[in-house]
Amino acid sequence: MMQPLLMRLRAQHPDCEIHVLAPAWSTPLLARMPEVTAVIENPFAHGEFNWAGRKALSRRLASADFSHAYVLPNSWKSALVPYLAGIPRRTGYSGETRYVLLNDRRTLDKTALPRLVDRYAALAEPATNTTPEPRLHSTPEQQLAARTALGLPLAVAPVVFCPGAEYGPAKRWPVRHFAALARKVGADRTAVWIVGSAKDQEVGDEIVRLADGAALNLCGRTSLEQAIDLIASARAIVSNDSGLMHVAAALDRPLVALYGSSSPGYTPPLSARATILSLGLECSPCFKRECPLGHLRCLEDLTPERVLAAMQD
Ligand code: SF4
């Protein structure tokens, strides 16, 4: 979501250094973005204040002599460290009483900028009308290395399923639908690989069980880096609205993106090769983690046949 901002900054200031303060887990992702010079690990858990830790981090940033900070989260806590570090220009959207902490405050026009990616990209000035699409790097050598390390066949072009969605069940296409799709895709011996984190392992196992072994569960077996390289060499990806969906879009692979309680208008996959499937029910998007109506029609009624047709378009 924030890479297009980095692309704009890099285009405007080709010789600048861009350091990204981000959680440790995202380092492999940032390593695949050519705009990023370095990553500074954000040690704070979501919601954690930790005054001593924030002061220590601000001293570290102060010694690096940064000229400009872009603060993307809306919380005042996130604006505190750049302020304490004395970074001269601190840009971000107004909100959560950040009057002193930010000295380049912007007013967000949610109607003009419905997509999160455009909101971030608009922080770079001068703004342009078009937001560049994110792009992650993955070389053939990296793809080969990932498959070799995981003991996967090298000459296969699999269809990759990403059935996880950290946010909650209202963003997860039903397991039995993934399984039915695996059987259809695997009917001509196409390999189906399921990719996700350790938290998706059970879901992956259930898909394999219901699909009578027509898929291989790799959830929890790959690093994020390896997941990127497996997706980069896939013939197609079918994914819930999740982080890996955005990875697949940024790798510019053919992608079918499945939306339930969330909105493709807010966080769409940013790739011309992505097909968005969303039933657009009256109750949608509700942005809930679990279906408040208890039926999950937005995903239950999205049939495997329809997803298969979208893959073949
Ligand atoms: S309320 Fe509607 S959009 Fe929300 S989860 Fe239920 S079916 Fe989906």
Q: Output the ligand 1 site: residues, CB below 6 A.
A: 170, 260-261, 281, 283-286, 288, 291-293, 296-298
pLDDT at 76: 87
pLDDT tens track for 238-257:
999 999 999 999 999 999 99
> Is the confidence at residue 220, as pLDDT, over 70?
yes
User: Class of 140-312 per CATH?
Assistant: alpha beta
Within this chain, domains 3-121 and 140-312 share the same CATH topology: yes
Q: Is the pLDDT of residue 12 over 70?
A: yes
Q: Does pLDDT of 96 surpass 80?
A: no
The model scores a pTM over 0.75: yes
Give 166 Cα–ligand 1 centroid separation in angstroms.
Answer: 17
d(CA 115, CA 267): 6
pLDDT one-digit tens code per residue, 133-182:
999 999 999 999 999 999 999 999 999 999 998 888 999 999 999 999 99
Listed in sequence order, the DSSP H helices in the chain are: 3-12, 27-31, 51-63, 76-84, 116-121, 140-150, 175-186, 201-210, 224-232, 243-250, 297-300, 304-312
CA-to-CA dists, residue 203 to 130, 184, 304, angstroms? 38, 19, 17
| Three-state DSSP state, 124 | coil
CB atoms within 10 A of CB 97: 9
pLDDT category at 98 given cuts 50, 70, 90 is: confident
Cα separation, 80 vs 71, whole angstroms: 10
Query: What residue has token string 């840009």?
Result: 91
| Mean per-residue pLDDT over the chain, rounded | 94
Q: If you take atom 3 of ligand 1, which residue's CA is the nearest one?
A: 284
- 95, pLDDT greater than 80: no
Per domain, the residue ranges of the chain are 3-121, 140-312
- The pLDDT value recorded for residue 250 is 97
Bridge partner residues of 275 (DSSP)? 256
pLDDT at 167 (0 to 100): 85
> In angstroms, rounded to a whole number, what is the distance separating the alpha carbons of residues 23 and 44?
8
For 280-302, what is the mean pLDDT? 96
- Hey, what long-range contacts does 76-83 have (CB within 8 A, 24 or more apart)? 76/101, 77/44, 77/49, 80/54, 81/21, 81/54, 81/57, 82/58, 83/58
**CA distance linking residue 307 with residue 312, whole number of Å:** 9
The pLDDT tens digits of the residues spanning 179-204 come to: 999 999 999 999 999 999 999 999 99
> In angstroms, what is the span from residue 290 Cα to ligand 1's centroid?
8
* pLDDT, tens digit (0-9, with 9 covering 90-100), for 256-282: 999 999 999 988 999 999 999 999 999
- Distance (angstroms) between ligand 1 centre and the Cα of 282 equals 9
Residues 6+ positions from 70 with CB-CB distance below 8 Å: 5, 9, 91, 92, 123
Atom of ligand 1 minimally distant from the CA of 284: 3
In this predicted structure, what is the pLDDT of residue 127? 66
Which residue CA neighbors atom 2 of ligand 1 most closely? Answer: 283
Q: What SS3 state is found at 98?
A: coil
In the reported structure, the alpha carbon of residue 170 is separated from the centroid of ligand 1 by a whole-number distance in angstroms of 7
Question: 220 versus 49: which is more confidently predicted?
Answer: 220
The CATH number of domain 3-121 is 1.10.10.10: no
Task: Identify the DSSP state of 19.
Answer: E
